[in-house]
Amino acid sequence: MRGFGYLIKEGVKSVWNNRMMSAASIGVLVSCLLITGAAMLVSLNVRSVVEQVGKDNQITVFLTEDVDELTAIQKVGPEIRRLDNISACEFYSKDEAIVEWQNELGPLFGELQGEENPLPNAFHVTMVDLSQYADTVANIKGVEGVDIISDRSDVAKRLTDLDRLVTQVGLWLVAALAIISLFIISNSVRMTMYSRRFEISIMKSVGATNHFVRTPFVIEGIVLGILSGVIASVIIAFLYEAMISAVKYIVPINEIPYSELSTQMTIGFILFGMVVGATGALISIGRYLNMEGGEILGW
Amino acid sequence: MIQFKNVSKVYPNGTRALNKVNISIEKGEFVFIVGASGAGKSTFLKLIMKEEQPSSGTIFINGINTTEMKRRKVPYLRRTMGIVFQDFRLIDKMTVFDNVAFAMRVIGARPRAVKKRVHYILGLVGLKDKAKSRPAELSGGEQQRVSLARALVNNPTLIIADEPTGNIDPEMSFEIIELLNEINKQGTTIIVVTHEHELVQKFKNRVIEIQDGEVISDTGAATEKADVPIEISEDALAQIPEEIAEEIPDVSSEELNKEALQAIVDGEAAEE
């Protein structure tokens, strides 16, 4: 399109000419992006931790008293291994268990050897995906000879709940802030339009198309979005490092290195900013495009 | 060129601005529209520019029924017109050059064509030396000439001037109308709205008087205006740089105008 360079120049110039309102728009949009980014990073890390816990997590499957060692190894073990979501299944005999108890709790259990041992035989089972815990446990319970299963899902459950909470709260916050950003940006563009209403009325009187009148303002919104995206990307890189150091001080975790996320985060921030910026601008423009001459100038 | 057939305009508040008006203005005419304040003169101009829609009747501009014209095609209609306002409507932060160039830029003219054409037009209205000045540094008469240059720059077939002498002294007013007369001699249709009867009497042009929304008198077309050769004042010519003067036939934006008219006729308002 002819004159597109002129339109871009006008849009960019307008960000500077209207700098107070631009700064306010950028401030709100950066806050919105930071909260979105933080929620996303927390969620990604929680998922990574859940995955890690899943890998390490073992459950103990206790067998009924009538299942002896040979039956357990030859029949029950292979049946458990055949089920879905099982990565390992190791036999844990009642003799090993009582020795462990004695080591931990002292000679009180010294009498409970051989025939007197009240503990059942068991298996240590590791799952592939801990989020399928309930289904897997139900399947294991269906195996003949299985009595009870130790409930060690609490950690995973808490982490999964935390992830869900972070995602939900994050989504609401992002939605609320996106609406606020839209409002602020549309107001910023509306102020620019108001201050340039004289030019708009002249533009229309000399035959500028609505597309031509609209473009600089949409570009202004997009520029505000891009600037916000870039600023938020830089801030979140520093925040992430600081946050991870603080968390690691309390709980040792294997965090996702920011270098693995930086490209997607930056592109995502800029795109989000551009969409919010352009939409905010488009919201304000309609009013002036439907006006003519003196009406635009409020006469 | 312009035909009003039984045109009435009633505003939403009930004000009847025009009542069954029939006016026909031919190509190349110079017409004064006179009448008291509130007579309906401005509404008449707004209807030509399609800033307003008539309540009834039909309006033809260059053979096109503008009452049925789609909104997205209006910009292309306006590109065939140049508008001069009483309050000049110049942008203070822009230089004289940029104010005139603005009208070309908004219709997507190329920078090189803008540069040549604006210098030429500023020479034509005698403001070549003021290209870098700001409107606030100019007299009222000069500002109105800038406004006229902006109206002329896209080579319109019609110039509409709404009280162009309302904010300038009598001597300057005479000069502005003289300049419009010169432009008219090149074939451009001119419509001037004014309430200055003295000024109207000095020029032997067609006068249409509107009162209470009705045409109460029309002197009819002025005689022997059509074949007057193109004349540009010597002062104006002297201000046009030689290299630009040589290129004047090439820098005309007639091409733009043809494109605009073509877009209206063919409905090629693709940009929308």
Which pLDDT tens digit goes with each residue over A59-78? 888 999 888 888 888 889 99
pLDDT of B244 reads 42
pLDDT at B131 over 90: yes
Is B78 in the A-facing interface, judged by CB distances under 8 Å?
Answer: yes
**Predicted TM-score of the model (pTM):** 0.64
Sequence letter at residue A52: Q
The CA-CA-CA angle for residues B44, B49, B55, to 5°, reads 55
Per-residue confidence band for A138, with pLDDT thresholds at 50, 70 and 90: confident
Interface contact A2-B108, CB threshold 8 A? yes
The CATH number of A58-151 is: 3.30.70.3040
Q: Are B124 and B232 in contact (CB under 8 A)?
A: yes
Is A212 in the B-facing interface, judged by CB distances under 8 Å?
Answer: yes
Interface contact A210-B76, CB threshold 8 A? no
- Count of alpha carbons within 13 angstroms of residue B244, beta-carbon side: 20
For the residues A30-45, what does the mean pLDDT come to?
83
- Provide the shortest C-alpha distance from residue A287 to chain B (in Å): 15
Tens of pLDDT along A279-291?
888 888 877 777 7
Task: Say which residue the tokens 């919010």 belong to.
Answer: A276
pLDDT of B248 reads 40
Q: Please report, for chain A, the start and end positions of each structural domain, with discontinuous segments joined by +.
A: 4-52+157-296, 58-151
Q: Are B260 and B80 in contact (CB under 8 A)?
A: yes
Element (H, E) at A271: helix A258-289
pLDDT at A158 over 50: yes
Strands (E) located in B115-269: 158-162, 189-194, 206-211, 214-218
Interface contact A205-B83, CB threshold 8 A? yes
For the residues B253-263, what does the mean pLDDT come to?
49
Query: Smallest Cβ distance to B78: which of A1, A6, A205?
Result: A205
Query: Smallest Cβ distance to B106: which of A208, A292, A293?
Result: A208
Query: Distance between CA B144 and CA B131 in Å, rounded?
Result: 14
For the residues B130-151, what does the mean pLDDT come to?
92
Interface contact B91-A211, CB threshold 8 A? no
A35-94 residues touching B, CB cutoff 8 A: none
Residues of chain A with pLDDT > 90, as a percent, come to: 7
Q: In the structure encoding, which two tokens stand for residue B110, read together?
A: 């190329």
Least confident of A182-196, A219-233, B46-60, B108-122: A182-196
Specify the 3-state DSSP secondary structure of B158: strand
**Chain A residue nearest residue B77, CA to CA:** A207
Tens of pLDDT along B198-252?
888 888 889 999 999 999 988 875 544 444 333 444 554 454 444 444 444 333 4
Q: Please report, for chain B, the start and end positions of each structural domain, with discontinuous segments joined by +.
A: 2-266
Per-residue confidence band for A107, with pLDDT thresholds at 50, 70 and 90: low
Element (H, E) at A32: helix A19-56
pLDDT at B30 over 90: yes
Q: Are B153 and B164 in contact (CB under 8 A)?
A: no
Interface contact A209-B46, CB threshold 8 A? no
Residues of chain A with pLDDT > 70, as a percent, come to: 89
For the residues A187-202, what does the mean pLDDT come to?
80
Tens of pLDDT along A252-280?
777 788 888 889 889 999 998 899 888 88
For chain A, what's the residue count? 299
pLDDT of A37 reads 85
Query: Smallest Cβ distance to B75: which of A2, A208, A293?
Result: A208
Interface contact A292-B109, CB threshold 8 A? no
pLDDT of B39 reads 86
Least confident of A179-183, B72-76, B210-214: A179-183
Query: Distance between CA A284 and CA A297 in Å, rounded?
Result: 16
Specify the 3-state DSSP secondary structure of A237: helix
- In eight-state DSSP terms, residue A209 is -
pLDDT at B63 over 80: yes
Element (H, E) at A97: helix A94-105
Least confident of A2-11, A16-25, A225-234: A2-11
Residue of A108 and B73 predicted with greater confidence: B73
Element (H, E) at A21: helix A19-56
Interface contact A209-B83, CB threshold 8 A? no
Q: Are B176 and B152 in contact (CB under 8 A)?
A: no
**Chain A residue nearest residue B102, CA to CA:** A203
pLDDT at B10 over 70: yes
Residue of A55 and B17 predicted with greater confidence: B17
Residue of A212 and B266 predicted with greater confidence: A212
Interface contact B89-A293, CB threshold 8 A? no
Q: In the structure encoding, which two tokens stand for residue B190, read together?
A: 């001119």
Per-residue confidence band for A168, with pLDDT thresholds at 50, 70 and 90: confident
- Name which CATH class applies to B2-266: alpha beta
Enumerate residues 6+ apart whose C-beta is below 8 A from B239.
Answer: B122, B123, B126, B127, B128, B129
Element (H, E) at A78: helix A77-82
- Count of alpha carbons within 13 angstroms of residue B13, beta-carbon side: 2
